[in-house]
Structure 1
């Protein structure tokens, strides 16, 4: 899969803001099988972006690593292939 280095985030809890440490990432909406198309988002030099599919607000926070989120449960990792 070509997107191994791109973090993925989901909003199963329905929080109003997800703080993340990446400016380029994929929003999947909710965890599968309830996900929406995995959309690549790029904040550029901005500090926040809204997903056009699920309206989740993502806000960049420099104290987080690229693979971290607050709340922590919003980081999603695909299951390992069998």
Structure 2
């Protein structure tokens, strides 16, 4: 089940893979104005998921916390309801 705050991630760098510390997230592509529709992604029991819009592969890394990513500048926010840079 989704938490109240779902982290948003952006791929401004064009990275093939983004390592994240969560299994539920929102991908927004790149930051505005180059973003795509913000899509909710849930890995479930899997350890990775592919964004259907930008083809970024998100890989769960249990060493990371919910507010970390690798590359590190991909996390946009963990605020419920909106993404803030």
The TM-score, its normalising length taken from structure 2, stands at 0.85
Q: Show structure 1 runs of 4+ deviating over 3 A.
A: none
Give the count of matched residue pairs. 78
Q: Which residue of 1 aligns with 2:84?
A: 79
SS at match of 1:73: helix
Q: Which residue of 2 aligns with 1:11?
A: 11
Unaligned runs of 5+ in 1: none
With over 3 angstroms needed to count, the CA separation of the structure-2 counterparts of 1:4 and 1:12, relative to structure 1, is: farther
SS at match of 2:73: helix
How far is the alpha carbon of 1:4 from its aligned partner? 6.0
After TM superposition, the structure 1 = structure 2 runs for residues 1-82 of structure 1, keeping only pairs within 5 Å, are 5-77=5-77, 78-79=83-84
Tell me how large the CA RMSD over aligned residues is. Answer: 1.6
Unaligned runs of 5+ in 2: 78-82
SS at match of 1:26: strand
- Alpha-carbon separation, structure 2, partners of 1:4 and 1:31: 22
How far is the alpha carbon of 1:79 from its aligned partner? 3.3
